[in-house]
């Protein structure tokens, strides 16, 4: 498959649009169950190679954000059996996959960060749903820091990255999705999600473009 940057428009020089003083790098769900070969998805036979590449780039962006003075915000799914919504459980049952909602259980180790480590002063959000804004104080924390722009990275492109990006737009944030610092488990789904986000609510950019802008 051709590179996403060959198919969709990307902002190669985001520059002042991602001013570190007003921008947060959002790291979505880089957790054992989603990104590690030892997690729930890895043990189920999913190819985790794309996740490893995305995490390599996210690590680079975290370093660039810290050096530039941008806020770094870590999102995590944190669940218990009693926190699973009736809608989630019913949907799983109706599609024939009951029990598949049991991921990132608190105390299982699967909810732990994978290869990324928050530092004091970072934002950390625990969530039950796909969007990092749903049922959390993420919006309040961003506004308290004067942030109006989000640089989106993480797993998976089609689920929690997509949901958080759309919700950010609805909360009046400017968003940039770093296409090569996101991953899912289906190339076509990754591409089509990025296309939909670009069409409706976000700009696309790359790790190199963001790192270079913040280095400048």
Report the CATH number of the 4-215 domain: 3.40.50.850
CB 147 within 8 A of CB 179: no
Distance between CA 51 and CA 115 in Å, rounded?
11
92: which DSSP letter?
Answer: H
pTM here?
A: 0.95
**Per-residue confidence (pLDDT) for residue 129, from 0 to 100:** 86
Residues annotated as catalytic are 29, 127, 160
Closest CA to 32 of 95, 116, 129: 116
Closest CA to 181 of 50, 15, 41: 50
DSSP assignment of 197-209 equals HHHHT-EEE-HHH
pLDDT digits (tens, 9 = 90+) for 2-12: 789 889 999 99
Residue 99 in this model has a pLDDT that exceeds 70? no
Residue 198 in this model has a pLDDT that exceeds 70? yes
Residue 146 in this model has a pLDDT that exceeds 80? yes
Q: CB neighbours (10 Å) of residue 108?
A: 15
DSSP assignment of 15-46 equals GGGG-GGGEEEEEE--BHHHH-TTSHHHHTT-
- For 67, the 3-state DSSP assignment is helix
Q: CB neighbours (10 Å) of residue 94?
A: 9
170 contact partners, CB below 8 Å, separation of at least 6: none
Residues comprising the chain, all counted: 216
Whether residue 6 has a cis bond before it, omega within 30° of 0 = no
Average pLDDT, the chain: 94
Q: Which residues pair with 124 in a beta bridge?
A: 74
- Averaged pLDDT, 110-117: 97
How many CA atoms lie less than 13 Å away from 29 in the CB half-sphere?
Answer: 31
Distance between CA 13 and CA 9 in Å, rounded?
12
Residue 84 in this model has a pLDDT that exceeds 80? yes
Among 35-39, 96-100, 134-138, name the one with the lowest average pLDDT: 96-100
**Per-residue confidence (pLDDT) for residue 5, from 0 to 100:** 83
Burial class for 152, CB neighbours closer than 10 Å (0-12, 13-18, 19+): buried
Share of the chain above pLDDT 70, in %: 98
Question: At 101, is the pLDDT very low, low, confident or very high (cuts 50, 70, 90)?
Answer: low
**Max CA pair span of the chain:** 52
CB 182 within 8 A of CB 161: yes
């Amino acid at each position: 498959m051709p590179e996403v940057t060959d198919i969709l428009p990307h902002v190669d020089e985001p520059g002042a649009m991602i001013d570190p003083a007003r921008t947060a790098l959002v790291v979505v769900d880089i957790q054992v169950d989603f990104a590690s070969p030892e997690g729930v998805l890895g043990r189920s036979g999913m190819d985790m190679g794309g996740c490893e590449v995305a995490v390599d780039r996210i690590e680079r962006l975290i370093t660039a954000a810290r050096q530039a003075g941008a806020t770094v915000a870590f999102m995590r799914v944190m669940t218990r059996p009693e926190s699973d919504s009736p809608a989630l459980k019913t949907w799983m049952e109706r599609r024939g996959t009951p029990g598949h909602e049991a991921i990132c259980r608190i105390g299982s180790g699967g909810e732990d960060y994978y290869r990324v480590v928050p530092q004091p002063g970072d934002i950390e959000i625990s969530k039950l749903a796909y969007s990092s804004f749903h049922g959390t104080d993420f919006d309040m924390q961003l506004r308290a820091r004067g942030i109006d722009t989000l640089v989106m990275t993480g797993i998976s492109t089609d689920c929690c990255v997509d949901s958080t990006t759309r919700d950010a737009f609805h909360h009046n944030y400017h968003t940039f999705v770093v296409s090569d610092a996101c991953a899912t488990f289906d190339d076509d789904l990754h591409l089509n999600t990025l296309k939909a986000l670009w069409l409706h609510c976000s700009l696309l950019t790359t790790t190199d473009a963001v790192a270079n802008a913040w280095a400048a």
